[in-house]
Amino acid sequence: MMEKMIFGRYVPADSIIHKMDPRSKLMIIFLFVCIIFLANNWVTYALIGIYTFLMLGMSRIPVRFLYGGLKPVLWLVLFTLVLQLFFTKEGAILFEWGPVKIYEGGVRMGIFISLRFFFLILMTSLLTLTTTPIEITDGLETLLHPLKKIRFPVHEMALMMSISLRFIPTLMQETDKIMKAQIARGVEFASGPFKERIKAVIPLLIPLFVSSFKRAEELAIAMEARGYRGGEGRTKYRQLSWRMADSLQLVVLVVLTILLFLLRS
C-alpha cells in the first residue's frame, strides 16, 4: 500500500503543467490553499472541483495511478465525513435510530469538509507529480529571495524542503519493506488487541529511524564530497523561464477567487 503513495513522486510527461515555471506552480498551490476556504456552498465547491480536475487533466497523469496512490487518503476523507455526520447537530433531523441522530447540517458540513480535504490533497500532490525536486528548490529559493535581506537562510531552507519531498516515497518504500519483514517473522499489525498492535509498531519504528539517519549521513557525506558549502557564490545550471501559460494560469486562479467571493452565501 505504502509503495503506491503519490505524494513526493515525480511522474515525467509532456504536458502544459509539467512545462510551467515552478515559481508559478508554487504560487498557484499557495493561493489555492488560501481560496479553498472561501467555498461554503454547492456552487463554490463545484467551481473548485472543476478547476482541480481541469488541472489534473492538463497534467496528463494517468487516472489509474492517481487512484492507486489516493486509496489510503480516501479512508481519511471518509473518516472526516463520518465524524461530521455524528458530531454536527444543525438543521433538520434526516435520520434517527435510538440515540443516533443525523442532521441536515451534519451531512452538508461532512460533504464540504471532505471535498475540501480531497481537493487540497489532489492539488498539493499535483505539484510534486509534475515538478522535479531540483525545480522545486529553484522555485522556492527565487520566491523567498527577498528574505535574504533579513539574513534568512533561503537556499538552505529550500534545499531542506526539496530533499524532504524527495525522500517521502523512499521512506514509504522502506517502511513497506520493514513491515513485510516483520510480518514474515510473525508480527501482527492489522489484527489482535489494540494495545498489542501499538506494541507491534515499535519494531517498525526503530529500524526505520536507523535507516533514515544512515541515509541522511550518506547524503551529507556525498554533498560534502562534491564541494557543497551552502548557497553563497553558487551559480545555476538551469535558468527558470516564465511563460505565457504561467501568467494565464494565475489569471484563471484570480478569476476563480473573484467568483468565489461573489458566490459565497
Could you tell me which residues are beta bridge partners of residue 97? 100
pLDDT in tens, 29-69: 999 999 999 888 889 999 999 999 999 999 888 877 777 77
Dist CA 82 CA 74 (whole Å): 12
The answer as to whether 106 is a domain residue is yes
User: Is residue 19 one of the residues assigned to a domain?
Assistant: yes
Q: How many CB atoms lie within 10 A of CB 31?
A: 15
The rounded distance, in Å, linking the Cα atoms of 152 and 144 is 9
Q: Cβ neighbours of residue 119 under 8 Å, at least 6 residues apart? A: 36, 48, 49, 52
pLDDT at 75 over 70: yes
Answer yes or no: is 60 within a domain: yes
In a domain, 208, yes or no: no
Is-contact 211 174, C-beta < 8 A? yes
Distance CA 265, CA 256 (A): 16
Instruction: Let me know if residue 80 belongs to a domain.
Output: yes
- The total domain count for the chain is 1
**CB-based contact 21:243 (threshold 8 Å):** yes
Residue 85 lies in a domain: yes
Q: How confident is the model at residue 234 (pLDDT cuts 50, 70, 90)?
A: low
Range with the largest mean pLDDT of 82-96, 155-169, 249-263: 249-263
Q: Quick check: is 196 in a domain?
A: no
**187 assigned to some structural domain:** no
Domain encompassing residue 14:
2-131+235-263
Helix (H) or strand (E) holding 103: strand 100-103
DSSP 8-state assignment for residue 262: H
pTM over 0.85: no
- Please state, in angstroms and rounded to a whole number, the distance separating the CA atoms of residues 114 and 242: 34
